[in-house]
Structure 1
Amino acid sequence: MRRIMMLITLLWPLAALGQDGPMRIHAPEALRDSGLLDYLLPRFALKYGLRATVVDDPGAAIAFGADGVPVFTGPSQAWHLSHDGSQTAQKFEDWLRSDIGRRAIAAFAADGDAPFTAQIAVAAPVRELTFRGDPALGERLSLLHCGRCHVINETNRMKGMGATPSFGVLRTLGDWQRRFSTFYVLNPHPSFTQIKDLTPPFDVMRPPPIVPLSMTEDDLDAILAYVATVPPADLGAPIQSQ
């Protein structure tokens, strides 16, 4: 019985090779000529028992090009993988993006060089932040509601609490928009802040410790519009230790 099981294990890849024919993978001429796929595909076949053939057919179920998921870079462009979503194609994508696949890509060498890398640097789209509120109103509301703890601008420069960051310091944070737009759920604000039709009423058994702050969502939009105009504080160069 043990010999039969060993024989089945050895023959399973060969059986898989014959199922539905080989995967057809389209690759542009530059990628075909690089030799990378000739290096990768036998390793994928050894792992999963799935053969693949490279074709010059953009309509193939699996294709390398400029569209799809970025999988590797080289020699002078990023290569993406797109496919029809089949189980076999997804397995190929997962293998390319796995540690084993990434190491195989990095290990490929042509003429003594390693022209490909799985380290993908994808540029994030630049989005311009826009706010519908009135910045002038937002400044007044900021001074009224937030100025008792935060330094808003030169108008209340000497009136904020020392342990509370100024609006300028908060603007240096990469997630400043999230912090301001959800400030009412960030401590200590929930204990004394009410946003009309948005936050629940205060617990009658736990009254606010200070004079409550009450505003509308439109007020918050105005404050966000104002904060967007506040220049980030100059915090100087990072401290360097020796």
Structure 2
Amino acid sequence: MPHSSGSLPTRWLRTFQPVAAPRLRLVCFPHAGGSASFFRTWPQQLPADWEVSAVRYPGREERIAEPCLTSMAELAGGIADGLAPHMTPHTVFFGHSMGASVAHEVAALLAARGVAGPAALLVSGRAAPHRLRRLSTGDLTDEDLLATVTRLGGPGAEVLGDPELRDLVLPPIRADYGLLEAYVAGPKAPAVDLPVVAYFGTDDPGPTPDDVRAWSELTSVRCEARAFPGGHFYLVPHEAELIRDIRERLSVLASRV
């Protein structure tokens, strides 16, 4: 059955195709240097009564005039503040790379506040928080940082060769990498009592498959892992397969809530 009406708040979220009474809401968290538009093609591949929103980090796209945030506590706290009044039992979080960590922290914050958190947490291309390795990007030159990003093969990497466009995308990339460098949850990583699905690319140069599967150690509920061929951004060429997997998993959930 459909659930509560009204779209989620617009300051922190872009809702691509608002649904009056969505049966399920999928909130997506972008990768480092990424933006909400990364998920713009997802709604067309999901049921019409599901609503897809993407988190809008400060310092890019519509919020480009705002300063980027370099603290996980500040970023996750702001998102949690924006989402808390609008959370429902049929909201699910999906986060890729840095977005997986942000989604996890937001879910943990909501739970700590006694707010109904997401019904499930879908993480992608990210080691479990207690298995993260500290980055050392703060001393990198702009060229070296951009080379690091380019090696991951993310969407839009070609614009990094254009000096004018590079000046626009570099600040959020550096800010996000600074945030990740400072963020090491370690053994204090908060547990979440909700189902977790961990996706990863088999050739990802970052987290190992074991690092990704270790998300199972942070939930008392079930955790499943699914591998796709490809590197860190496996979800670009395999978008249709990933969304099909998400749709199948969440269709069961949507029928229960």
Alignment TM class, shorter chain as reference:
under 0.3
Higher alpha-carbon Rg: 1
Q: TM-score normalised to the size of structure 2?
A: 0.21
TM value normalised by structure 1: 0.21
